[in-house]
Structure formats: structure tokens, C-alpha cells
Structure 1
Amino acid sequence: MNTQSTREQQLLSWINLNTEFSCQSLVMVSADASFRRYFRFLSGDKWIIAVDAPPQYENIAAFLNVASSYSAAGINVPKVYAYDLDLGFYCQQDFGNTLFSGQLNQQNCQQLYKQALGVIPLLQKCTSTENGPLPEYDRALVDRELAMMKDWLVEQYLELDLSNTELGVLDNALKSISEKFLAQPKVGVHRDYHSRNLMILDDEIGVIDFQDAVVGPVTYDAVSLLRDCYQRWPSQWVEAWLKDLHQEYYAKYAWADFKYWFDVTGMQRHIKVAGIFARLYIRDGKSGYLADIPRTLEYLIEAANDYPEYKKFATVICDNILPAVLAKQQGCIDA
């Protein structure tokens, strides 16, 4: 029996022995980009979600603390019914199967994004939990994330040899992006506020996967949602949605500043995510995210090309990294 099967059996036993629920069998719902696995089971007439979150990899305490803070702020998050920090198991409310990402279309996206953007100011008020302040999105974390594209995507996945000039362009851009990212006003940040972490609940938005919440840039969650690595909409729509958000909640900041913060934050996030997608394949054997790398790099090129100080950076991505990704993926298809 492999490790995952053993964990599943332990989870089932834990539910029956240590919670108010009875469980005959577990049905896999999803396994995400982390080490968490989600199962659904029926106890009586009630569906429950059981989560396997191995404690050596996942921080259940952070999830519980943020859940309490978000709930108190009026954010619709799943109720947690039972947990065991040492084992890395918990049971939570079942929000169903209606993912935000699965419902989006050209007819309803205006209304759905308005709803989802309206939750962000509530998230931003949550800068602490009962156990103290949320972690800071500090320079050390930012710089670790910015290094991921070069380390995992360029060097390990693509095995791409960039020239010293090109490497210099990358290094200068990453340093500048880090500084501009950190200079923004700081608020509570969900950190993965995108279409696959939102649920549609009777015309309300349910929020999940928030255990990595931090205090960070004011535009971060808007970037995660509007420049979603799994969805792409016309740039004029995205700008219109962002302008509406700015006018309703952030008019104290000049629009030009807010848009610049949004674009720089988008660059930082997409640099990080491109590296994470490559790491998921190389380290964790998860190939499903490789198809999302081109979209992520296209976002990066688009944002960088809008600013003179990042045009050389955009060129390196456009002329070297993106073509190498596309060629490698085409080679895998042909093989």
C-alpha cells in the first residue's frame, strides 16, 4: 500500500473514531498544487469535505486562524467541524462543486467579477488573527519567489543558456520589481485569490485556500483574480474592471499609481508562478500546470512592455524563454 493510500485509510479511521461523523468511504474531490488532498463523504444526510494536509508540508493552524479572521470579517469561508494538527486531518463544510472558474462566460463575467472584486476590501481588513499578525510579504519572501522562474523554469525545466547580457537584464528587472512591489501600501492579502479558489454559493462568493494569507501589496489580490493564470480576458475588460474597483474603493490613490502597482505586482506574481508550475512538474511530478506557463509568460510580457524600464526584460522573455517553452511543449506533443 503506497503512502497516499495509507493516509486515506488513516483519515477514514480518524473521522469515525474522533469526530461526530460516520464515514463509509471517501471520494476524491481534488488534489491541488500543494500537498493537500480533498475528499467528500456522506454522514447521515450531510455531505462533508475531509482534508488530508500532511503536517510536514501544510500548516493547518494557519488555515484555522485565517478562517476565523475571515469569517469574523463577513467573508464566506467553510466552517471547520473537526481537526487534528498532529495528524494533519480536518473536516470542513462542503461548498459543493460550483467553482467560479467553471461558471465564467462572456455573458456573466461582468457580474461575477464585480462580486468577486467586492470581497477584496474585506480580505484586506484582515491583517491579523487571534494568534497575532499575519506574516509580512517581506523582501526575503519576495526575492525567493522572484528567483523561482530563473531557477526552476529557465535552468531546470528548459536548461536554457542565456547570455551574460540577458542574465543581467533579468537580474536588473527582478531587483526593480522587488523594490516597486514592496513600496506599495500594505493590506491583508489572500495570496491565491483566483477563479479556482472561489465558489458560487446561491449567488454569493465562497472563498477557499487562504492558509497562505499575508500582509502585502494593495493590488495583489486584484492581480490574482483579473490576471488569473487559468483565465484570460480582453485587456480592455480587465482595465475597465480595475478602474471600477479603483473608483469604488481606492480613489485616494492616483489612478496612474494604482495601475502601475497592479502591473508591477502582476509581473512579480507571474514570474513566481511560472517557476512554481515548472517546479510542480520537476519536483512533484504534476504535469498539468505546464500548459498554463505560456499564458503566464504572455501576461508578463504584456505588462513589462507597457513601461520603458522593463522593455528589455519583456524582450528576453518574448525572444528566449517563451519560445523555448512552446518548443519544448510541442516536442512533448510530437513525441
Structure 2
Amino acid sequence: MNQSRQTLLTHWARQQLADPALQLTLISGDASFRRYYRGGGLIWVDAPPQTEKNGAFIQVAGALAAAGIPAPRVRQADLQQGFLAVTDLGDRQLLAELNDQTVAAWYAKAIAVLPRLAQLPLAAQLPAFDVDFMAVENSIFPQWLLERHLGLTLSRAERQLLADGFACLTDNNLAQPQVAMHRDYHSRNLMVVDDEALALLDFQDMVRGPLTYDLVSLLRDCYIRWPDAVIQDGQSQAYGLYQAAGLLAGYSRDEFAYAFDLTGLQRHLKAAGIFARLHHRDGKPGYLPDIPRTLDYVLQVAQRHEPLQDLAHWLSTRVLTHKELQCAP
């Protein structure tokens, strides 16, 4: 936040609490242009209206509250300036709580939330994760990772290979039951609150999209990796819960696993591109070490499925051999 916006936020916060001596302490920024401060028992958010979806945040926060899903509650808002005051969920990010001994229990809690999240009544009002939406997302990987970060010049054949791969992934996402979808349901956006429940953050970008998307965001997290057994157990738990909620639309267990794999591949290609964009466009290099792990997910999944094996071979020989990516995932 530049000094002028910080001053404006502090002035606004003092007005809301009628406390002229209130001081705000920076907590952090994130991958967007938002900045978070703590003071007076609340979290104060600078979310520039030119870039941030503050109206959507307020709408979804209300829907989550009505559904009984823990999340920040909006106490005050100034949409013109892009300032929010929300409840303070503390500092226990799920990522810091995870290890080999705790991951199963924590993931079971996170997975238990997903059917309730998927069935939020506002699903019909959310933007559709449709062909046009995915086309924008799918352009991020070649533009920012391949061309800008790695300096690759793609041939016509390579562009066609990518286009065919993305078409396959788009068809997979559209074929699934379409539900309310968080889009970033992972260990950095889940907070552990006092009663050991999990609370959601960063939900302003929710859309209506494929059932398996939030599950794969959690289990194949870009920021931490687990053995296949953890992922398979999580898939099984989610399948049972989605089935009990009537959300599977006749999907068999194998069909669910296939949809999960391809949905993750689309997400991870986008994420790898975003990590490069954060570095080059936004001056945030801290996400670069997450790219090799994210692309390794892509490679392993693509190698398993015949329609994507040509893409897997190209990734392994043309992209992952680049010196910028030569570190362990």
C-alpha cells in the first residue's frame, strides 16, 4: 500500500471505531493487490476498487455466514475507496499445521466443508467457469511462463499441441456437475480458528464450475506436496460425501478420479503461469520456487492419460529441461 492509501485507511478505521489514536499493524499482502492490517480487534483490508472484487467478497461472505461456514464477516465497508473491516480469524494458517502425522485429520475437516460450499444457494448467481473464462486462464501459461519467463518461441505445431490439450481439459471441466467453486481452496486460504474448525479466506473470486476443482486445489496443493496415498484417501472421502449430497450426477469412482486428474492439470498450468506473472508483472518473485512442483503435478497426470501423453512428452523435453526450472519439485 502506498503511503497515501495507508493514511486514508487509518483515517477511515479511526472513524469507524471512534478511536483517533488507533494504530494499524501490517499483517501481509497476498498474490493480489490487497493488503491486510490488524487493529482494534478487526482486520482492515485495503482492496483497491480498480482491481479487487469487493462487492463479490461481501456477497459471498454473507452466503457463507448463512450456510454456517466459518469465514471473515464484514463489519464495515467503503466500496468507493476499497476499504473493508472484517472479523479477525487469527494467525493459524492451515499450511503451518500440516505434517505427516496431522494431514489426514486436517484434510478430512477441509473435505467435509466441500459439499456445503458446492451447494451455496448463490451458485446460480456466480460467474460461469465456461469456455471463455477458461480461454483467458489457459492463455496465462504460454504467455507468462513459456514466453516471458523461459523465453521460448513456440512453433505452430507446439501452439497446436497446447490448444488441443487445453481443449481436452476444457471439455472435462464442462462435463462435470457445475457447483459453487472457491477456486483457491488450499492450505494458505484455510485458517484454523479457536475451536479447531477451518475458516475460508480469499473467496471473492468464486465461480460456478466443475465439482472436482476445489478438491484438487486442496489435495494437489501448489505449496505443499503429499504422497499419492494421501491424495487417494482424500478422493475417496470426497466421493462418498458428494455422493451422499447427491452431487455426483451418476459419476463412477473411476470417472470421478479421471475428472479430478484433468481438472487439476488445467488448474496447475494456469497456476504455473500466474507464478511467473507475479514475478514479472507484479514484482513478487516469492512464488517462483513453487513452479517446478506445480509443473511436476502436470507432468505426472498427463503421462497417465493417453489423450495428454504427447503434451507430457513435450513438457518433459522442451519445458522442464529449461535451466530456470532445474530444482526439485
TM-score bracket, shorter-length normalisation: over 0.9
Q: Which amino acid aligns with 2:324?
A: K
**How is 1:1-335 mapped onto 2 (pairs within 5 angstroms)?**
4-20=2-18, 24-41=22-39, 43=40, 47-128=41-122, 133-201=125-193, 202-250=195-243, 252-324=250-322, 327-328=323-324
Corresponding residue SS for 1:86: coil
Q: Give how far 1:235 is off.
A: 1.4
Any stretches of 5+ residues in structure 1 without a counterpart? Answer: none
Q: Give how far 1:19 is off.
A: 4.3
For 1:194 and 1:328, the matched residues in 2 are separated by: 26
For 2:121 and 2:301, the matched residues in 1 are separated by: 28
Corresponding residue SS for 2:144: helix
For 1:121 and 1:152, the matched residues in 2 are separated by: 34
Q: Which amino acid aligns with 1:48?
A: L
Contact 1:12 1:23 in 2 (8 A): no
Identify if the C-alpha distance between structure 1 residues 167 and 282 changes in structure 2 by more than 3 Å, giving closer, same or farther: same
For 2:174 and 2:304, the matched residues in 1 are separated by: 20
CA deviation string 1:78-137 (max 9, x = no partner): 1211110000001111100000001101111110000000001111011517xx711111
Contact 1:36 1:58 in 2 (8 A): yes
For 1:243 and 1:148, the matched residues in 2 are separated by: 32
| Deviation beyond 4 Å, 4+ runs, structure 1 | 19-23
Q: Give how far 1:20 is off.
A: 5.0
Contact 1:193 1:221 in 2 (8 A): yes
Identify if the C-alpha distance between structure 1 residues 30 and 184 changes in structure 2 by more than 3 Å, giving closer, same or farther: same
Q: Give how far 1:323 is off.
A: 2.1
Contact 2:292 2:325 in 1 (8 A): no
Q: Give how far 1:59 is off.
A: 1.4
For 1:181 and 1:52, the matched residues in 2 are separated by: 33
Contact 1:74 1:122 in 2 (8 A): no
Q: Give how far 1:318 is off.
A: 1.5
For 1:122 and 1:318, the matched residues in 2 are separated by: 39
For 1:233 and 1:162, the matched residues in 2 are separated by: 33
Contact 1:152 1:276 in 2 (8 A): yes
Corresponding residue SS for 2:2: helix
Contact 1:219 1:265 in 2 (8 A): yes
For 2:136 and 2:20, the matched residues in 1 are separated by: 43
- What TM-score comes out, normalization by structure 1 length? 0.92
Corresponding residue SS for 1:165: helix
Q: Which moved more, 1:218-227 or 1:21-30?
A: 21-30
Identify if the C-alpha distance between structure 1 residues 330 and 321 changes in structure 2 by more than 3 Å, giving closer, same or farther: closer
Q: Which amino acid aligns with 1:83?
A: A
Q: Which moved more, 1:11-20 or 1:117-126?
A: 11-20
CA deviation string 1:132-165 (max 9, x = no partner): 7111111101111011100111011111134443
Q: Give how far 1:167 is off.
A: 2.9
For 1:123 and 1:273, the matched residues in 2 are separated by: 22
Q: Which amino acid aligns with 1:309?
A: P
Contact 2:189 2:202 in 1 (8 A): yes
Q: Which amino acid aligns with 1:238?
A: I
For 2:38 and 2:325, the matched residues in 1 are separated by: 34
Contact 1:28 1:40 in 2 (8 A): yes
Query: How many residue pairs end up in the alignment?
Result: 321
- What TM-score comes out, normalization by structure 2 length? 0.93
For 2:65 and 2:239, the matched residues in 1 are separated by: 25
Any stretches of 5+ residues in structure 2 without a counterpart? Answer: none
Contact 1:191 1:221 in 2 (8 A): yes
